[in-house]
A and B are shown apart, each in its own frame.
Chain A
Amino acid sequence: MDEKVLLKGNIAIAKAALNCGCSCYFGYPITPQTDIGEYLSLEMQKKNLAYVCAESEIGAINMALGAASSGEKVMTSSSSCAVALMQEALSYASSDELPIVLVNVMRAGPGQGYIYPSQGDYNQATIGGGNGDYKTIVLSPSSVQECIDLTYKSFYLAQKYKNPTILLVDGLLGQMAEPAIITKNPYPDIDNSSWILDGAKNRPSRNIHSLEPDQNKLNQHILKLYQKYQQIEKNEPVWEEYLCEDADIILTAFGTMARSIKAVCNHFRKTRIKMGVFRPVTLYPFPYKRLRELSVKARYFIDIEMNMGQMLKDIRLGVLSNAQISFIGKPVGDWLRKEEIISAVNNIIKEQYASI
């Protein structure tokens, strides 16, 4: 079990889902995530689990919504423009407090875009495209190992908070193979016997619904959801720091992008520029608090993303006016290379941070 194996991100996610007891998967093909569904189709049929090739992503996420009401661990996966189709049900599932794990292996947009690498769904995942006051938990892996670890965590957090959870994966990572250890699921199962729908036997009937014609009750319901979100924001932010303690300049990135910028950071450290790397692992809840602490000491933040600056506004909300913030980005295509980033960072340092 502890042996390293060569694994693609998508397959790692599928294996981890099975490992932690996911018994229901509903999906529709879209590149670059299709191999998750392909892998699970055989494995789940062999075990007599629930697998449906849905008629659409709308069908898939609504099957997931129904299945989640049974208390089983439920997953669907898709990509960018098709995750857009799922936003309605995410809003419903958030209001219904149903635990669904949604894996979004991102492609480039807007619209159909193409299957090129991009991180263009940060806003879609963290802000959401559904209606009303709701939040979804968003986890962002940066390696195949983390695809496994964070799949486990996605199921755990979804069940723990009875909330849809999105695993936001770079297309690059979904399609990339690297060595990883298929660990055991470290999280306990959550008792859900108090709310699931399994037939009103020896108990009053239950109903799960989002319609609420009584405005006071609707207010109370949303306030209750927000108390839960506050707990999530208090308990669950996770981030990775690299050489941040004494850093003057902190590079920020999420997902796979954070890997190349560690090399950038090492490069500048050799030139005696005190640089660090800060990577949010949970995009919601975003680790604002730690970012603010770091911004008291660090003077400059450079946010680097494969989009036009979607996480940038969260960096700004964390840093406020404590430090200067710059952005390096590219919406789509070949990942920004170490050399490109070094040269862009050098330009920023020359132009804006002359005092360093």
Chain B
Amino acid sequence: MSYIKLDQNKCKSCYLCIDVCPHKLLKKSSHIGSTGELTVEFSDTENKCIGCAQCAIVCPEIAIVEVNR
């Protein structure tokens, strides 16, 4: 089962990761981050994450701290 760990304190809400996730597992959370916008959260109820790490690759904030496959 693949999953990622995301540090919401680092997220600046650029949403670049949302765009690249092939299974749309990243979405806006209800948490307001440092830029005054909603940060991103990872939600994978159906175990769809394939651990491709594209989200981590595009994240300019190293907010995605782990990808496990």
In the complex, are there CB atoms of A and B closer than 8 Å?
A: no
Chain B interfacial positions (CB closer than 8 Å to A): none
Chain A interfacial positions (CB closer than 8 Å to B): none
